[in-house]
A and B are shown apart, each in its own frame.
Chain A
């Protein structure tokens, strides 16, 4: 059945609430309003104010109280309204949520999921278009995933909620309204796994979240020129699942990594290092990166200059043939 990514998340959250009464949703405007993106639409009405909690407007408070609820035995799913608003909660996420299991030598589990709509491309004002994934992927104790399509959105949110790891769950906000098939009955692939989403033979393009669509579009365009791009949706940013990437790069000999976040000390830095380490003798070219720039996210009217697009991906693909 075709659903938008946003609706698929909504259905996944609904199913999580149904299947475990310890699951609670909390965040700003998630109740009556259904969230500013309507991802929690209708859930408070059906599950009540104790299961879908409109919180005070304080992000550290959301994560801090979620940790307390988790210690009590609940499984909180927190919504951070926009990527740029997660920073007030950064201490609770990094110093408390990420480390609790470790500090307690496995005695205290805090199965909190932090949902963050991330990335740009929606013409928003500042602080509404950021890609903060590297901050979290850098933090031991957190797992970080990003969905890119409705089927993954539906399944990955349920998998994240049912596991005991604290998970930063990144949602590509500009893809919320894009439709795709959701297999409600098929069993999903594991949460922390990468997936080849388009097969190809000439070059491997790795992306996640909103950039998977861009990479697929680039692959379609390249095919018209007779160039075969393999696209891998990373899905999990921490831990990385690079088996499919290594396997692919050993075949293609070329690798391009795409994300919206700035390039400096980013997921693509890590990918480039690891692919180089593992595929050194297969590489025909260095790993190239197509990313946002090392600037603050720019004003909306120039964000298209900042965001990787089809042409920039194809340009990098071309450059891998220049070595």
Chain B
């Protein structure tokens, strides 16, 4: 099997910024950002990496139960996240912290889940990001159903139409739900973009254990286009995702985007990647770092200088400190909160159980 020195060659993909920070021309895709927007993308990348590192540290210190790091996937998430328009809806996995950032969501929001004080708990419609989904691939069906609803609401077919983006990973492509969502989206021409972050590993299992064909090629079998993009290139990811979302909102149906990237860290803080992949492989990917290439490009193009980079680093560090303080201050839920919100319509039996537990707990008062 492919372990040890497994370093796959770069596949063919859409790339607008190469690992050395050189702009690359592509016949079909381009971006036109203002200097401010370019700097904004860089800022996004740095901030989500810093907050991610802080969350990893919090887990190591016992303040989070677990953390799923996005390290290495910053460009894929910022590219996709910034391509979304306010009316668009996103259905994430549990690793899309960068998407939440791009939607302007307070970074504390998903941390309750990882600290164990809630299970997501946010209003999907209000934030235009559904809650994190942990069962692999299940959310792709929710995204597709939601997209069908957009069509039924007549909110598709115009420039300001709505679109949906469903996130999932390379491992999820083996799931029945993902394949069913492809069927549904295709036959109902649903305005949904299937955004696969191929980070090369499903915990320990390499891509080869999930597929014998490049993932983006799966789409054609379902009857819609698939395209592969350099997921470590924020410019290309933005351009490709924006095009796919616009196609969806205009009524041209689904697209699968395979963002070819690499999970630089562990699957989660509970994982030990040294058991299944070689350091040399990780090192090879370090050369393709999404932030490094952006920094070289901005410097060479005269869009940003060291003062700017220092300022961004300082801002990110400050945000990390704030986030840490707020995580530590997250209150534990009360013992009877476990009975809350089981049914919109309530349940007399549950009310009884709650009352019983309340009496039981009260029986200890002063008894300790």
Residues of A within 8 A of B (CB): 24, 50, 55-56, 58, 60-61, 63-74, 76, 88, 91-92, 95-96, 99, 101-109, 111, 140-141, 143, 163-165, 192, 239-241
Contacts and interface: CB of A to CB of B under 8 A. Distances in A.
Given A60-B141, A71-B124, A140 B180 contact: no
A92 B145 CA distance: 13
Nearest to B146: A68
B148 interface: yes
A94 B348 CA distance: 21
Nearest to A242: B349
A108 B123 contact: yes
Contacts of A69: 145-146, 148-149, 152
B342 A102 contact: yes
Interface stretch (B17-25, B181-189, B358-366): B181-189
A47 to B, nearest CB: 12
A241 B340 contact: no
Contact of A65 (B130, B133, B184, B350): B184
Contacts of A143: 343, 345, 347
Contacts of A76: 145
Contact of A56 (B124, B125, B187): B187
B142 to A, nearest CB: 4
Nearest to A165: B345
A239 B350 contact: yes
B349 A65 contact: no
B148 to A, nearest CB: 6
B294 interface: no
14 contacts: A61-B180, A64-B144, A64-B177, A69-B145, A71-B125, A71-B145, A76-B145, A88-B176, A96-B135, A96-B142, A101-B344, A108-B130, A165-B343, A239-B349
A106 B91 CA distance: 18
A79 to B, nearest CB: 16
B183 A72 contact: no
By Cβ-Cβ distance, the 8 closest A-B pairs, closest first, are: A68-B145, A64-B141, A72-B149, A65-B145, A61-B180, A164-B344, A107-B123, A68-B146
B184 A141 contact: no
A107 B121 contact: yes
Interface in B237-295: none
Nearest to A66: B145
A249 to B, nearest CB: 18
Contact of B345 (A63, A74, A164): A164
Given A72-B146, A73-B149, A64 B180 contact: yes
B92 to A, nearest CB: 13
A56 B184 CA distance: 7
Interface string B131-155: 1010100101111111111101100
Interface string B148-182: 11101100000000000000000000001100110
Given A70-B145, A71-B125, A143-B345, 10 more contacts: A65-B184, A66-B145, A68-B145, A71-B124, A72-B150, A76-B145, A96-B135, A105-B341, A140-B342, A239-B347
Nearest to A54: B187
- Greatest chain A CB density within 10 A among B126, B133, B138, B147 is at B138
A106 B340 contact: yes
A91 to B, nearest CB: 7
A67 B141 contact: yes
Contacts of B126: 107
Contacts of A72: 145-146, 149-150, 153
B135 A101 contact: no
Contacts of A66: 145
A103 B131 contact: yes
Task: Output the residue of A72, A74, A101 with the most chain B CB within 10 A.
Answer: A72
Contacts of B152: 24, 50, 69, 74
Contacts of A140: 342
B122 interface: yes
A71 B180 contact: no
